[in-house]
């Protein structure tokens, strides 16, 4: 793919061995702290190449995980550079801090520790994905590429919409990819009668609701030999969802990823979801509606059995809202980045102690997603209109 790249098989340990003495230790640390390997290393893994002067980018949530990563790197002989880099996401929803670390006496071994103020996967989707080609990441046990068809089969790239707002901060990253010959012309569409059809095919490939573990994603299980068994649910990442919109921007057709996080009393983990408002088709709203029904049923069963852990005053209002929930009132003004009705109640601010026998619905998310995906969400529509200056402009019609 690039003249200065060395072909390398899908062996993550050999790649990480360039940066650390024991890759298994680093991967275990990533698993415990829900950290991700992002950036060019993840891209190179799927491209089966190795750039000799590449850095390793590690993304973790701000807090104890960062301290653990720093302590580990000190033991590996890495020293912190004087300069820390701050940048906003795309859009500038969060602030990210990059702390470069360089190993003494070793050339080309630099690790950037990126910390976000939210959980890693949310931070990844909201920030480091500045193009379809950069939408690759690696967990402790699996590698993911979100747009493989566009990136590796069609050899095309689309940049994130709004990239100009943070262009100075990502320009060095873009230059690295371009200098290595990995990008083809992002404005690859030619004028003519076939433009609409080609644009429709690209939008159909990119736009829409996505689940990280869906059929459009390439995922490669990694060899975990030598890694101490972790009490980590490896399927959690696959259940995170997001929405992709394709729209016109300064570099041509560009993408926007919309996602937010949500906690629910019947979900053991926190996941990312689409943030669009009703009546747009929104899996998050549909899922919340299904979860509300599951939660209301469980709460009532435990109340009837006298095993519920909250007083009547504490759960009564939440139970009423959950029992009367409709798909229409699950989003909109209520927002996506919040808790379910029960966890939002004042009595559970310090945590909800689940009663014995409480059932979580995490493993049902893929099934619920399949149910939702079978509904008619509308087709992609594209029109060519003329602006005030007389230029032809491609208009992407939002699927409702």
Q: Are residues 218 and 301 in the same domain?
A: no
263 neighbors 349 (Cβ within 8 angstroms): no
Q: Is residue 369 one of the residues assigned to a domain?
A: no
Task: Please give the Cα distance from 364 to 268 (Å, whole number).
Answer: 12
Q: Are residues 189 and 285 in the same domain?
A: no
Q: What is the pLDDT of residue 275?
A: 67
Question: Judging by beta carbons within 10 Å of its beta carbon (0-12, 13-18, 19+), is residue 41 exposed, middle or buried?
Answer: buried
Q: What is the pLDDT of residue 324?
A: 78
340 neighbors 292 (Cβ within 8 angstroms): yes
For the ranges 299-303, 383-387, 393-397, which has the lowest average pLDDT? 393-397
Q: Is residue 272 one of the residues assigned to a domain?
A: no
Categorize the per-residue pLDDT at 341 as very low, low, confident or very high, splitting at 50, 70 and 90.
Answer: confident
In this model, does residue 91 exceed pLDDT 60?
Answer: no
Categorize the per-residue pLDDT at 121 as very low, low, confident or very high, splitting at 50, 70 and 90.
Answer: very high
In this model, does residue 144 exceed pLDDT 90?
Answer: yes
Percent pLDDT > 90 in the chain is 24
For the ranges 171-185, 203-217, 252-266, which has the lowest average pLDDT? 171-185
For the ranges 57-61, 63-67, 186-190, which has the lowest average pLDDT? 186-190
Phi-psi region at 102: left, alpha or beta (left = phi > 0; alpha = psi -120 to 50): beta
Q: Are residues 153 and 227 in the same domain?
A: yes
**pLDDT higher at 136 or 130:** 136
Task: Please give the Cα distance from 181 to 1 (Å, whole number).
Answer: 7
Q: Are residues 108 and 231 in the same domain?
A: yes
pLDDT, tens only, 281-334: 567 788 888 888 898 889 889 888 888 877 776 677 778 888 777 776 665 444
Give the pLDDT mean for 144-150: 92
In this model, does residue 193 exceed pLDDT 70?
Answer: no
Q: Are residues 124 and 185 in the same domain?
A: yes
The gap from C-alpha 191 to its chain's centroid, in whole angstroms, comes to 34
Q: Is residue 306 one of the residues assigned to a domain?
A: yes
Q: Which two tokens stand for residue 172?
A: 């060095």
Q: What is the pLDDT of residue 174?
A: 62
Categorize the per-residue pLDDT at 379 as very low, low, confident or very high, splitting at 50, 70 and 90.
Answer: very low
In this model, does residue 256 exceed pLDDT 50?
Answer: yes
Q: Are residues 245 and 286 in the same domain?
A: no
Q: Is residue 263 one of the residues assigned to a domain?
A: no
Q: What is the pLDDT of residue 188?
A: 45
In this model, does residue 161 exceed pLDDT 70?
Answer: no
| Contacts for 307 with CB less than 8 Å, ≥ 6 apart | 355, 356, 357
Categorize the per-residue pLDDT at 31 as very low, low, confident or very high, splitting at 50, 70 and 90.
Answer: very high
Give the pLDDT mean for 371-381: 62
| Contacts for 42 with CB less than 8 Å, ≥ 6 apart | 136, 137, 138, 143, 145
Number of domains the chain contains? 2
Q: What is the pLDDT of residue 223?
A: 92
**200: containing domain:** 6-256
Q: Are residues 197 and 140 in the same domain?
A: yes
Give the pLDDT mean for 121-147: 89
Q: Are residues 129 and 20 in the same domain?
A: yes
Q: CA of 368: how far to CAs of 84, 237, 349, 374, in Å?
A: 42, 16, 28, 10
Categorize the per-residue pLDDT at 82 as very low, low, confident or very high, splitting at 50, 70 and 90.
Answer: low
**pLDDT higher at 247 or 65:** 65
Q: Are residues 324 and 292 in the same domain?
A: yes
303 neighbors 315 (Cβ within 8 angstroms): yes
Q: What is the pLDDT of residue 378?
A: 47
Q: Are residues 244 and 321 in the same domain?
A: no
Q: Are residues 251 and 296 in the same domain?
A: no
Average pLDDT, the chain: 77
Q: Is residue 382 one of the residues assigned to a domain?
A: no
In this model, does residue 99 exceed pLDDT 50?
Answer: yes
Task: Please give the Cα distance from 153 to 137 (Å, whole number).
Answer: 18
Q: Is residue 135 one of the residues assigned to a domain?
A: yes
Q: Is residue 212 one of the residues assigned to a domain?
A: yes
Give the pLDDT mean for 93-108: 73
Q: Are residues 69 and 143 in the same domain?
A: yes
Give the pLDDT mean for 62-79: 92
Q: Is residue 391 one of the residues assigned to a domain?
A: no
């Amino acid at each position: 793919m690039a003249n200065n790249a060395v072909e390398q098989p899908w062996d993550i340990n050999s790649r990480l061995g360039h940066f650390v003495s024991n890759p298994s230790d680093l991967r275990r640390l990533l698993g415990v702290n829900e950290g991700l390997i992002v950036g060019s290393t993840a891209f190179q893994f799927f491209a089966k190449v190795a750039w000799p002067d590449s850095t390793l980018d590690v993304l973790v949530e701000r807090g104890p995980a960062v301290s653990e990563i720093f302590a580990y790197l000190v033991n590996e002989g890495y020293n912190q550079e004087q300069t820390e880099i701050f940048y906003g996401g795309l859009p500038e929803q969060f602030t990210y801090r990059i702390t470069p670390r360089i190993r003494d006496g070793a050339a080309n071994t630099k690790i950037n520790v990126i910390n976000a103020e939210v959980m890693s996967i949310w931070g990844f989707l909201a920030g480091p994905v500045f193009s379809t080609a950069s939408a690759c990441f690696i967990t402790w046990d699996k590698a993911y590429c979100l747009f493989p068809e566009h990136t590796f089969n069609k050899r095309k790239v689309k940049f994130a919409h709004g990239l100009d707002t943070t262009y100075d901060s990502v320009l060095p990253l873009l230059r690295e990819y371009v200098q290595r010959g990995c990008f083809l012309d992002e404005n690859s569409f030619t004028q003519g009668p076939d433009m609409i059809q080609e644009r429709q095919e690209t939008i159909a490939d990119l736009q829409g609701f996505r689940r990280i573990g869906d059929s459009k994603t390439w995922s490669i299980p990694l060899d975990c030999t030598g890694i101490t068994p972790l009490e980590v649910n490896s399927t959690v990442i696959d259940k995170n969802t997001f929405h992709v919109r394709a729209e016109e921007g300064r570099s041509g057709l560009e993408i926007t990823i919309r996602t937010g996080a949500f906690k629910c009393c019947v979900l053991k983990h926190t996941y990312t979801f689409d943030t669009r408002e009703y009546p747009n088709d929104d899996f998050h709203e549909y899922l919340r509606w299904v979860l509300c029904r599951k939660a209301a049923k469980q709460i009532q069963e435990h109340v009837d059995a006298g095993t519920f852990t909250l007083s009547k005053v504490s759960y009564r209002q939440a139970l009423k809202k959950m029992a009367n929930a409709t798909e229409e009132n699950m989003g909109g003004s209520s927002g996506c980045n919040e808790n379910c009705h029960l966890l939002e109640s004042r009595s559970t601010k310090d945590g909800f102690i689940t009663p014995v026998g409480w059932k979580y619905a995490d493993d049902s998310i893929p099934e619920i997603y399949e149910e939702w995906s079978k509904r008619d969400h509308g087709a992609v529509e594209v029109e060519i209109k003329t602006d005030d200056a007389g230029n032809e402009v491609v208009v992407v019609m939002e699927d409702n």
